Amino acid sequence: MDDSQYDTCVIGAGPAGLAVARALAERGLPYTHIERHTGPGGLWDIDNPGSPMYESAHFISSKTLSGFGGWPMPDHFADYPPHRQILSYLTSFADAYGLTDRIEFGVEVQSVEKNADGTWKVTRVDGRESVHAQVVVCTGSQWHPNLPELPGDFTGEVRHTVGYRSADELRGKRVLIVGAGNSGCDIACDAARSADHAVISMRRGYWFIPKHQRGADQLQARLSGDGAARVRRCCWTTRSAMATSSSTT
């Protein structure tokens, strides 16, 4: 195979796909960029069909410690930006580096197959095919829910976070959140404010650290000399508050 005959195919225009596209463009390497949605952003676009995004979603890392190299998040962003600010950041990044105009929007990939000569055939849903020296798949891993088989009988509603959108869906309900990952904790907070009753179930202990303590960004504080001590105090304060809350419910 003569690599000079073929380019690189980048599938997906979320954060990873945009980062790969910029790296290729900056080095003058040819590439084809495909995205099934109508704009960049990937799952950070709540209007992207199938996106697991929900209204209360936000970055769990500080704006000062996140983002693409050479393209910091704007000062006016929240310390932990909500999903709409993240989408605007991704869109501005794509526009600034000339990536947007090179993306084939509204094009879904059906299959990727390796040819006998080592090249790759990319087939689109509309039947069009193209051959590439390499393919970088940047489609993410959060699009398809993994629902476990649970023993016993339950007559209520069982949902996966991928189909959740807003706290309004929890009003008037008794809600059990299983798992304390990013979305689990966010939805637990939504449920605590909106549901009739909310409980979160975890299989092991966690430290819950507020993003802000006395007006300070805790993630940023960890970078300072006494940051670790402040975070430890924050942990114990939170743990005590949780215990008190549990004893009164």
Q: Which amino acid is at 70?
A: G
What are the distances in angstroms from CA 33 to CA 10, 96, 100, 114, 209?
5, 16, 9, 18, 39
What are the distances in angstroms from CA 136 to CA 12, 45, 92, 140?
9, 21, 22, 11
Per-residue model confidence as pLDDT tens digits over 35-55: 999 999 999 999 998 899 999
pLDDT score for 24? 98
List CB contacts of 207: < 8 A, sequence separation 6 or more: 235, 238, 239
Q: In this structure, is the dihedral angle defined by the CA atoms of residues 114, 119, 123 and 129, taken in order, positive or negative?
A: negative
- Percent of the chain at pLDDT above 70? 84
Per-residue model confidence as pLDDT tens digits over 59-117: 988 999 899 999 999 999 999 999 999 999 999 999 999 999 999 999 999 999 999 99
pLDDT score for 143? 82
pLDDT score for 191? 96
Question: Which domains, ranges and CATH numbers included, belong to the chain?
Answer: 3-137 (3.50.50.60), 161-247 (no CATH)
Q: Which amino acid is at 232?
A: R
0.95 cut: is pTM over it? no
pLDDT over threshold 70, residue 1: no
